[in-house]
Structure 1
Amino acid sequence: MWEASIYGFVLAFGLILPLGVQNVFIFNQGAAHPKLRHALPAVITAALCDTLLILLAVAGVSLVVLTINWLKTLLFIIGALFMLYMGWSIWRSRPELPVVGEAHLTAGKQIVFAVSVSLLNPHAIMDTIGVIGTSSLRFEGLEKGLFTAAAIGVSWTWFFGLCWAGRLIGGLDSSGNVLRHINKLSAIIVWAMAGYIIIQLL
């Protein structure tokens, strides 16, 4: 029985660890805001979106959606365009104290951005469906429930921890120089992922 929980934990951790668009956004919000609680809208929204994707993947619903070719292509196009815009927003932000710019978002904008980078990110969806969804097929009943709960638990813990790490670095960086370099790197990563999606479309 515990095998399902451990398997779900390790699998979800391996998927969420790479520095993707969602992680970059959560880290930046933690670093940009003077108080950790101000970045909670982004953290909670991202965690809820991951929870939804995992539940849909385990249920098999999202797998059916991605078999519709035109819908899959539309998702890729929207995701790539949004990543290009988000990369530009991060690049031009100036994380000085007090923090200003696009990296320092209001609660409403945090929610919109978090939903977008979570649900309009084709690679996150494909990973969730292709790995977590298919891996869940080996379990039934209670074991499948434990596997799903472990995967969801990793997402929530990771996003809160990532936001906290961002806040620590933001608090130590009184000049804003470190955050400016992090933002530049983050923007390049986001643009690279958008370029990869565009290449796949072509």
Structure 2
Amino acid sequence: MAEAFIHGLILAFGLILPLGVQNVFIFHQGALQKHFIHALPAVLTASLCDTLLIILAVFGVSVMNFSSLTKTVLLSIGILFLLYMGWSTWKSTSSTDKENNEKTAKETFTPFKQVVFSASVSLLNPHAIMDTIGVIGTSSLQYNGGEKAAFALACILVSWIWFAGLALAGRRIGDLDQSGRLMNAFNKISALVMWGAAIYIGFTLAK
């Protein structure tokens, strides 16, 4: 059981580490919000969505069984969300004026928007689905019973710890960046990553 747990930790960490839309969004929220607690809607939503995908993958309910039409609709919605998220992120600016900065954060990324956006980049992201269903789900086939549960638990723990840590790191960068220049540059990079992901999904649908 310990071996399965360690396997899950290493595998999940390797999958979640690379830069992607989900990681960019969580980090961005940590840096944008005045306090870490204000970024919790995004962190909790991403963690819960990953938990759902991991459970589906490990215990055999594959979302890859969706019909072609359903996939097309879901991915199309994902493209629209990513385009809008990129636009909102590109427009957001950082300022040395703390009151103005807080106002911008609240208006641009309300808790509801955080939940919707975080869910979209988690559940409508082909990379996230392939990582969980294709890699984690396949890797779990070698385990049964308690070992399978330990493997799934390890993968889930990595997601929760990683997203919380990512938001905390973003908050720290936000505190250090008094001029706002670093966050303005990061906003532009984040927007480009989101638009790039939308284009990639578009190519996926066109195949």
Report the TM-score range of the alignment, normalised by the length of the smaller protein.
Answer: over 0.9
Which letter maps to 2:78? G
| Residues 169-198 of structure 1, C-alpha deviations (whole Å, 9 max, x = no match) | 000011111000001011111111111111
Residue 92 of structure 1 corresponds to which residue in structure 2? Answer: 91
Residue 162 of structure 2 corresponds to which residue in structure 1? Answer: 158
Change (3 A) 1:147 1:155: same
Residue 16 of structure 2 corresponds to which residue in structure 1? Answer: 16
Checking the alignment, whether the CA contact within 8 Å between 1:33 and 1:104 is kept in structure 2 is: no
Q: CA deviation at 1:30?
A: 0.4
| Residues 39-63 of structure 1, C-alpha deviations (whole Å, 9 max, x = no match) | 1111111111111111111122134
Residue 115 of structure 2 corresponds to which residue in structure 1? Answer: 111
Q: CA deviation at 1:82?
A: 1.4
Aligned identity (percent) is 59
Counterpart CA distance in 2 for 1:90 and 1:27 is: 12
1:168 corresponds to 2:172? yes
| Residues 130-166 of structure 1, C-alpha deviations (whole Å, 9 max, x = no match) | 0111111110011001100000000000001000000
1:146 corresponds to 2:145? no
Counterpart CA distance in 2 for 1:157 and 1:166 is: 14
Residue 139 of structure 2 corresponds to which residue in structure 1? Answer: 135
TM-score (norm 2): 0.91
Residue 37 of structure 1 corresponds to which residue in structure 2? Answer: 37
Q: Secondary structure at the match of 2:62?
A: helix
Aligned length: 201
Q: CA deviation at 1:36?
A: 0.9
Change (3 A) 1:150 1:16: same
Counterpart CA distance in 1 for 2:88 and 2:153 is: 34
What RMSD, in angstroms, separates the aligned Cα atoms of the two structures? Answer: 1.6
Checking the alignment, whether the CA contact within 8 Å between 1:46 and 1:114 is kept in structure 2 is: yes
Counterpart CA distance in 1 for 2:35 and 2:173 is: 12
1:55 corresponds to 2:55? yes
Q: Secondary structure at the match of 1:61?
A: coil
Which letter maps to 1:71? T
Counterpart CA distance in 1 for 2:145 and 2:191 is: 43
Q: Which runs of 5+ in 2 are unaligned?
A: none
1:125 corresponds to 2:129? yes
| Residues 63-99 of structure 1, C-alpha deviations (whole Å, 9 max, x = no match) | 4534x22222222222122111111111111122432
Q: CA deviation at 1:122?
A: 2.2
